[in-house]
Amino acid sequence: MHYSHRIGDIKLLNIGEMAFICLDIRCLCIFLIYTTCDYVLSSDTEIKVNPPQDFQIVDPGYLGYLYLQWLPPLSLDDFKECTIEYELKYRNIDSERWKTIITKNLHYKDGFDLNKGIEAKIHAVLPGQCANGSEVQSSWSEATYWISPQGNLETKIQDMDCIYYNWQYLLCSWKPGMGVHLDANYNLFYWYEGLDHALQCEDYIQANGKNVGCRFPYLESSDYTDFYICVNGSSESKPIRASYFIFQLQNIVKPLPPDYLSLTMTNSYEINLKWSLPRGPIPAKCFIYEIEFTEDDTTWVTTTVENEVYITRTRNESQQLCFIARSKLNIYCADDGIWSEWSDEYCWQGDKWKEALIFFLLPLGFISALVFFVSYLVLYKQETIPKMVSCIT
């Protein structure tokens, strides 16, 4: 950009010199002076663009999803053939980095953390090809927005925890703020793109008469989009500070543990561990599993995205082989996730079954032999007694 500007200056000089040299040739001279003057004039009256008008941040009541909107700069008629662009910068007031957007539109929408204020600025940009090579920028228009905080900080809810169980049931829980009066209670509102307006929780979880959680209804196409929550409250005695949260539901999924674990010896040194997908709507490709395998008294942990794994035995006389498994969403489906509970343990107990068999069969055989022997004795005696009697008589 600087380079092209310089070239412009040099050109100007050259034309000036030429005009001077040619002064004695009249008709040509007039023409040249005319063009020179014209050129100097236009580069003196710098190309300017006014800033965008009516820049404002509008809160449609979506708990953090805000509209930034503006109108074109005044006197744009000079650049009729040009598409003006806008450079928009915005951030939460205490964050260090601005988000920058270049757009030709007159609005932009994004999600913000309403616990803090928001500041934004915008300027109009005239592209280089409309302004003799170098881009021209207007001054900034600025706007700020914040929800004036009510109540003091301690009245906010604490320890908000939201889990999307098995990608099906969303449940949030929290603790009441400190030092709130007995009459204080909390309300949860939520919104995501697709809902006309923010909705209030319909199924609160309560403790001591206060709302401390919410069971959400079925949330249609609510994943892979920002999910906004506001928990505010009311109290007769003093106002309560609202809390705002933004997350994406796929990132807080806690699946069910894997089911139907099995362990088979493929040969004397290799073992195949297998399990089935947790029940529910989560596709097979979305899981990662953690397997904790125990061979006698050594344990190791491995992870896999398949629903089976082959493990080499370290000793072939190992007696006890056990494993447990748990599941989580993998990076192909979510940025984050919560591990499921561990499954029930599944064990293969080497030759123990033979011992068990002997342990059960030996006494059983012994008892049946005894029974047989006793009954034989009884029968034998019954036969011999009459004989003896007959002998006596």
Q: How far is the CB of 51 from ligand NAG (least distance, A)?
A: 19
Contact 29, 19 (CB under 8 A): yes
Among positions 230, 249, 311, 321, the unique one binding ligand NAG when judged by CB under 6 A: 230
| Shortest Å distance, C-beta 283 to ligand NAG | 34
Which residue lies nearer to ligand NAG by CB, 155 or 340?
155
Measured CA to CA, the distance from residue 195 to residue 190 in angstroms comes to: 9
Q: How many residues bind ligand NAG (CB under 6 A)?
A: 13
Residue with tokens 């033979």: 354
201: Cβ contacts below 8 Å, ≥ 6 apart: 187, 188, 189, 190, 211, 214, 215, 216
Minimum separation from the CB atom of position 267 to ligand NAG (A): 7
Q: Which residues contact 57 (CB under 8 A, 6 or more apart)?
A: 66, 67, 68, 118, 120, 143, 144, 145
Residues from 37 through 56 that contact ligand NAG (CB under 6 A)? 42, 47
CB of 52 to ligand NAG, least distance (A): 20
Q: What is the spatial order of strands in the sheet that 199-200 belongs to?
A: 199-200, 185-192, 226-234, 243-248
Which residue, 137, 112, 110, 134, is CA-closest to 122?
A: 137
Distance CA 273, CA 264 (A): 7
Beta-strand relationship, 259-265 and 270-276: antiparallel
CB within 8 A of 264, min separation 6: which ones?
271, 272, 274
Strands 85-92 and 99-103: antiparallel
Task: State yes or no: residue 316 binds ligand NAG (CB under 6 A).
Answer: yes
Q: Nearer Cβ to ligand NAG, position 233 or 258?
A: 233
Q: Which of 138, 141, 232, 327 binds ligand NAG (CB under 6 A)?
A: 232
Q: Does 35 bind ligand NAG (CB under 6 A)?
A: no
Q: How far is the CB of 234 from ligand NAG (least distance, A)?
A: 4
Footprint of ligand NAG on 245-274 (CB under 6 A): 268-269
Q: Binders of ligand NAG among 163-202, rule CB under 6 A?
A: 187, 189, 198
Question: Binding segment for ligand NAG among 175-183, 227-235, 338-346, 366-374 (CB under 6 A)?
Answer: 227-235
Min CB(164)–ligand NAG separation in Å: 22
The interface region with ligand NAG, picked from 165-173, 226-234, 336-344, 364-372 by CB under 6 A, is 226-234
Least separation in angstroms between residue 11's CB and ligand NAG is: 8
236 binds ligand NAG (CB under 6 A): no
- Report whether 283 contacts 369 (CB < 8 A): no
* Window contacting ligand NAG (CB under 6 A); options: 230-238, 246-254, 271-279, 374-382: 230-238
| Nearer Cβ to ligand NAG (220/317) | 317
Using CB atoms within 10 Å of the CB of residue 76, give its burial: 0 to 12 exposed, 13 to 18 middle, 19+ buried.
Answer: middle
Nearer to ligand NAG, 36 or 56 (CB): 36
Smallest gap from residue 185 Cβ to ligand NAG (A)? 10
User: Which one of 90-98, 228-236, 299-307, 332-340 is the stretch in contact with ligand NAG (CB under 6 A)?
Assistant: 228-236
d(CA 334, CA 76): 46
CA distances from 48 to 123, 128, 286 (A): 12, 12, 54
The residue among 86 and 228 lying less far from ligand NAG, judged by its C-beta, is 228
**What does the angle CA 270 – CA 275 – CA 279 come to, to the nearest 5 degrees?**
170
Q: What is the DSSP letter of 242?
A: -
Q: Which of 24, 236, 317, 351 binds ligand NAG (CB under 6 A)?
A: 317
Contact track, ligand NAG, 122-151, x by CB under 6 A: ----------x-------------------
Backbone angles phi, psi at 33, to 5 degrees: -60, -40
Q: N- to C-terminal Cα distance for the chain?
A: 142
Helical spans, DSSP H, in 22-58:
26-44
Query: Which among 111-119, 229-237, 254-262, 276-284 is the span making contact with ligand NAG, rule CB under 6 A?
Result: 229-237
Residues that bind ligand NAG (CB under 6 A): 42, 47, 132, 187, 189, 198, 230, 232, 234, 268-269, 316-317
